[in-house]
A and B are shown apart, each in its own frame.
Chain A
Amino acid sequence: MAELNTGDGGGEKGGKVRSKKQNSKVDLTAMVDLAFLLITFFMLTTTLSKPQSMSLGLPDKDPDKDKNKDVKVDENRTMTILLGDNNKLVRYVGLLATPVSGGAPKDFAYGKDGIRKELISRKEAVLQYTGNKDKGMIVIIKPSKKSNYRNLVDILDEMAIVNVPTYAIVNDFTPEETKLLGGSVSAAPVPATETANP
């Protein structure tokens, strides 16, 4: 790396004073070292990309509870997704007591091979059922008390990926739904649901 100056060390032989030939090269090693050090520093301290964000719209909430009207929707269009602890995810289509064919409560995994396939196929089925592009699938997301924030963001992300037209986060659980997350399945009366446009 460093320049080795060989052959100049002889000193003055003889009587003549010879002017030394100056080496025109500057040793840049130290400079490069410094530059890379600074580069490393700046790379580590900068946030190159701004954090991503996903926007979320919730339905209007009236402080007066009686004014919060339940919106009735076609049960054939709704899919309810229950989020439990330890990344458990249960979905049913239609009403819990009388699910539409193939829509009985079932466990799914998060991600590409799990709930997404189901969402895509169900979305198609709903469109065929209604035959109207404005009446797409409605997904009701019910995060339980034990679910964590990652689950919520994951499922909202799925909504964005699959492009579900309408979805809502609903907080009230019926005892039957709680049981569903606990493992045992039982028939139940219909829960009232509210929906929102995202």
Chain B
Amino acid sequence: MAIKMKKKSTSTDMTAMCDVAFLLLTFFILTATAKAPEVLPVDTPQSTVQTKLPEKNLATLTVGGGKVFFDIKGKDVRKRTLELMSNKYGVKFSEDDQNKFAVMESFGVPIQSLKQVLDMKPADRSKAGQPGIPKDSLDNQLAEWIQNARIANIEIQDKELEIAIKGDAKEEYPVIRKVMDILQDQKINSFSLVTGLRGKEF
């Protein structure tokens, strides 16, 4: 008697796989916060400290290649800071420019050429080769930005602004020291250093 082979179906049941895939998808969509494009990409050093950076009331100074870039969290604080800076340096910004500045990523240009950066498309800003915010004693715009951001933050959030330094691992110490000195001149004696997470075995 011949044995009849059952004809196997070539199709797989995709239902379970589909379920899992969409479950994961939902999870990722809900937990996602879009990664802000980095204008000045830096490779942060690692540490074992596990303190997280705050989401609000934070200004980040990105230091890499001798340049300093500045970033503040919060749209209202950013707008107010720009307003204060524009009064101080006599550079006018239109309503449109202010709105663009509010949602912009970090920047590193003297305030005189900030408008050109605002007029660029977001994708072009990182390619533009921004020179960094002037920080020498003759034209210390970085100190002014920090000062005005602190004022703006106290006006709007009623809290002291926290400062984080995000430095490149290969950055030489004198540049970092210069930034720390600027902070210390404003009596900011405690701030955070942004680091990556290091494995346990270090």
Contacts and interface: CB of A to CB of B under 8 A. Distances in A.
Interface in B172-202: 172-174, 176-177, 180, 184-185, 187, 189-198, 201-202
A52 B177 CA distance: 21
Interface of B is mostly: mixed
Contacts of B171: 148-149
7 contacts: A35-B25, A39-B28, A47-B33, A51-B196, A111-B202, A144-B173, A153-B45
Given A51-B44, A63-B185, A111-B202, A152 B194 contact: no
A94 interface: no
Given A51-B166, A149-B63, A153-B46, 8 more contacts: A35-B25, A46-B34, A47-B35, A51-B44, A54-B192, A146-B172, A150-B169, A153-B193
B22 interface: yes
Interface residues of A, dominant DSSP? mixed
Contact of A149 (B34, B53, B176, B191): B176
Nearest to B171: A149
Given A28-B15, A54-B195, A46 B35 contact: yes
Interface residues of A, number: 54
B25 A52 contact: no
Contacts of B173: 83, 143-149, 151-152
A84 B49 CA distance: 24
B2 interface: no
B168 A149 contact: yes
B45 to A, nearest CB: 4
Q: Which of A3, A50, A148, A149 has the most CB of B within 10 A?
A: A149
A196 B48 CA distance: 22
A53 B192 contact: yes
B184 A149 contact: no
B94 interface: no
Given A42-B32, A153-B45, A160-B48, A51 B195 contact: yes
B48 A157 contact: yes
A152 B198 CA distance: 15
Contacts of A61: 184-185, 189
A58 B190 contact: yes
Given A46-B33, A111-B202, A147-B173, A153 B47 contact: yes
Interface residues of B, number: 58
A171 interface: yes
Contact of A42 (B29, B44, B55): B29
A55 B189 contact: no
B32 A32 contact: no
A57 interface: yes
A53 B34 CA distance: 20
A58 B187 CA distance: 10
Contacts of A58: 180, 184, 189-190
Interface string A104-118: 000000011000000
Given A46-B35, A153-B45, A56 B21 contact: no
Interface string A22-66: 000101110110011011001101111111111111111101000
A71 interface: no
B15 A149 contact: no
Contacts of B35: 45-47
A22 B61 CA distance: 64
A55 B22 CA distance: 40
A17 interface: no
Contacts of B116: none
